[in-house]
């Protein structure tokens, strides 16, 4: 039977990892945020690390073992990267806090009068103001060094060579996630690794491997390729931007069909292993379209063959 340490009131962010400490964890254990099951990244007998799912809000968190036995972890909030504490010891100290710290260093007695207006109170206030300034500087440095809290986006991106070709970051939240993904690189070749990347990019999608889910690849023409090297990312949210060819309104060189999630495809073409070939399945109001990274194998859900375009390498 497993046991866990409470994590009540903890703040986490989707795409990051969440570690549960306890005992007797095994391969059958998993973590639930409300009714959402988190992807297990790794485990040992005394800790279980999962990828925080792409949901937001306050959740009752629990750990379930292979027999179905469940242990409540307490309330956990899933927020934005900026909601995650910088470090556990960083607090928003104020002038009064530092004055209390300094006064506590003095002996107790009538000779040490810290009433408002006294000389000692003025000295303490002056020292506290200096310490508060230094503390503010330290906190600013800690935040600047933390990709989840930094406001120095330009410096981080220049150092890491961001944005990568094909990746679009439209706001500060997306920029933070890209800095975290590239600056604190983690690697792998498992389905769980790829799911973590999707969660970090806030992409609502499933991922399948032909070796274990060949039925998901029905209708795909692999040619002379070994299908066991193929993976598919199937997006669950319909594309908002795609363009069909319109006779009479297009010019020479236009594509018959243009649809893609350039950011996701660009990232996965870079992080996947050399032998892996990715297929991207997009949901449109008309049909489900399957596209390889090279644009070679295109099939709709009803088997109609189309010419399509994906972001060039």
Q: Which helix (H) or strand (E) element contains residue 292?
A: strand 288-292
Q: How far apart are CA 125 and CA 95, in angstroms?
A: 8
Closest CA to 173 of 311, 9, 15: 15
Q: What is the pLDDT of residues 198-219, one digit of tens each?
A: 877 878 888 999 989 998 887 7
Q: What angle do CA 61, 12, 43 make, to 5 degrees?
A: 65
Phi, psi of 251 (to 5 degrees): -115, 170
- Residue 162 has what DSSP assignment? P
Q: What is the pLDDT of residue 99?
A: 92
- Give Cβ neighbours of residue 172 (< 8 Å, ≥ 6 apart): 153
pLDDT reading at 289 higher than 60: no
Q: What is the pLDDT of residues 69-109, one digit of tens each?
A: 899 988 888 887 767 776 544 567 889 999 998 988 888 87
Q: How far apart are CA 149 and CA 29, in angstroms?
A: 32
Q: What is the pLDDT of residues 161-170, one digit of tens each?
A: 888 877 878 7
Question: Under CATH, which number does the domain 3-81 receive?
Answer: 2.60.40.10
Closest CA to 184 of 16, 14, 41: 16
Which parts of the chain fold into alpha helices (H)? 95-103, 119-145, 153-160, 172-183, 191-200, 262-271
Q: What is the pLDDT of residue 260?
A: 65
pTM of the model: 0.58
Strands (E), 145-286: 205-209, 230-235, 242-244, 257-259, 277-283
pLDDT reading at 23 higher than 50: yes
């Amino acid at each position: 039977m497993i046991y866990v340490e409470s994590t009540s009131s903890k703040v986490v962010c989707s795409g990051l990892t969440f570690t549960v400490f306890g005992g007797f964890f095994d391969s059958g254990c998993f973590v639930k945020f409300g009714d959402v099951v988190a992807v297990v990244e790794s485990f040992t007998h005394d800790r279980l690390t999962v990828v925080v799912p792409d949901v937001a809000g306050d959740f009752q968190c629990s750990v379930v073992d292979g027999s179905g036995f469940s242990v409540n972890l307490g309330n956990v909030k899933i927020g934005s990267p900026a909601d995650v504490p910088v470090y556990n010891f960083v607090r928003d100290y104020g002038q009064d806090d530092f004055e209390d710290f300094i006064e506590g260093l003095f002996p107790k007695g009538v000779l040490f009068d810290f009433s408002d207006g006294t000389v000692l109170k003025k000295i303490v206030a002056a020292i506290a103001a200096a310490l508060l300034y230094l503390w503010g500087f330290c906190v600013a440095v800690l935040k600047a060094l933390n990709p989840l809290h930094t406001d120095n986006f330009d410096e981080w991106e220049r150092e890491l060579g961001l944005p990568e070709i094909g990746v679009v970051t439209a706001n500060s939240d997306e920029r933070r996630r890209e800095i975290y993904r590239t600056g604190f690189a983690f690697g792998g070749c498992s389905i769980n690794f790829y799911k973590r990347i999707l969660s970090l990019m806030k992409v609502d999608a499933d991922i399948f491997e032909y070796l274990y889910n060949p039925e998901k690849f029905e209708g795909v023409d692999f040619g002379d390729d070994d299908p066991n090297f193929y993976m598919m990312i199937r997006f669950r949210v319909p594309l908002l931007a795609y363009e069909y060819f319109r006779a009479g309104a297009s010019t020479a060189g236009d594509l018959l069909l243009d649809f893609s999630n350039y950011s996701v495809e660009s990232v996965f073409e870079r992080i996947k292993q050399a032998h892996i070939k990715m297929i991207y399945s997009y949901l449109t109001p008309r049909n489900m379209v399957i596209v390889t990274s090279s644009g070679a194998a295109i099939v709709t859900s009803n088997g109609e063959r189309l010419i399509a375009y994906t972001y060039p390498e």
